[in-house]
Amino acid sequence: MRDLPPLNGLRAFESVARTGSVKAAAEEMRVTAGAVSHQLRQIEEHFGLTLFVRQGRGLALTAAGATYFERVTAHFEGLRQASGQLHGSAGRSVLRLRSYTTFATRWLIPRLTQLQLAHPEIDVRLTTVSEWSDLGDFDAGIRLGDGNWPHYRCTRLVSNVLVPVCHPSLIRPSRPADAAWLAEQTILLVRARPDDWGLWCKAAEIDLGRLPHRRELESSALAYQAAIEGQGVALAQRVLVSTELANGSLVVPLPVEVDQEDVTYYLVSDRAGRKERLVAQLRTFLTS
Predicted confidence (pLDDT) at residue 252 exceeds the cutoff of 90: yes
Name the average pLDDT for the chain. 86
- 168 and 132 in a single domain? The answer is no
- 106 and 138 in a single domain? The answer is yes
Q: E strand or H helix at 25, and its extent?
A: helix 22-29
Range with top average pLDDT, 2-16, 36-50, 250-264: 250-264
Work out the pLDDT band at 201, boundaries 50, 70, 90: very high
Q: Domain holding 128: CATH number? A: 3.40.190.10
Q: What is the pLDDT of residue 190?
A: 93
Nearest to 239 by CA among 185, 178, 166, 158: 158
- 82 and 97 in a single domain? The answer is no
- 182 and 43 in a single domain? The answer is no
- 107 and 188 in a single domain? The answer is no
Q: Is the pTM of this model over 0.85?
A: no
| Segment 247-252 mean pLDDT | 95
If one compares 211 and 5, the residue with the highest pLDDT of the two is 211
If one compares 16 and 213, the residue with the highest pLDDT of the two is 213
Work out the pLDDT band at 1, boundaries 50, 70, 90: very low
- 49 and 136 in a single domain? The answer is no
Domain carrying residue 143: 92-153+268-288
- Look up residue 218 and give its DSSP letter: S
Query: What is the percent of the chain with per-residue pLDDT over 90, rounded to a whole number?
Result: 40
pLDDT single digits (tens) 142-197: 999 999 998 899 999 999 999 999 999 999 888 888 999 999 999 999 988 889 99
Q: Domain holding 1: CATH number? A: 1.10.10.10
Q: For the chain, where are the E strands, in sequence order?
A: 52-55, 58-61, 93-100, 122-129, 140-145, 152-156, 161-165, 187-190, 214-217, 233-237, 258-259, 264-270
Query: What is the percent of the chain with per-residue pLDDT over 70, rounded to a whole number?
Result: 93
Q: What is the pLDDT of residue 34?
A: 87
Q: What is the pLDDT of residue 36?
A: 86
- 193 and 61 in a single domain? The answer is no
Work out the pLDDT band at 3, boundaries 50, 70, 90: low
- 146 and 203 in a single domain? The answer is no
Q: What is the pLDDT of residue 189?
A: 95
Work out the pLDDT band at 24, boundaries 50, 70, 90: confident
Q: What is the pLDDT of residue 14?
A: 86
- 15 and 86 in a single domain? The answer is yes
Domain boundary among 35, 70, 90: 90
What span, in angstroms and rounded, lies between the C-alpha atoms of 223 and 214? 12
Predicted confidence (pLDDT) at residue 8 exceeds the cutoff of 70: yes
- 110 and 167 in a single domain? The answer is no
Q: What is the pLDDT of residue 84?
A: 60
- 86 and 96 in a single domain? The answer is no
What span, in angstroms and rounded, lies between the C-alpha atoms of 34 and 20? 16
Task: Indicate the number of domains in the chain.
Answer: 3
Phi, psi of 145 (to 5 degrees): 165, -160
Domain boundary among 70, 90, 110: 90
Predicted confidence (pLDDT) at residue 2 exceeds the cutoff of 70: no
- 272 and 134 in a single domain? The answer is yes
Work out the pLDDT band at 141, boundaries 50, 70, 90: very high
| Segment 118-130 mean pLDDT | 84
CA triplet 29, 30, 31: central angle to 5 degrees? 95
pLDDT single digits (tens) 68-113: 888 787 777 776 666 665 555 455 688 899 998 889 888 998 888 8
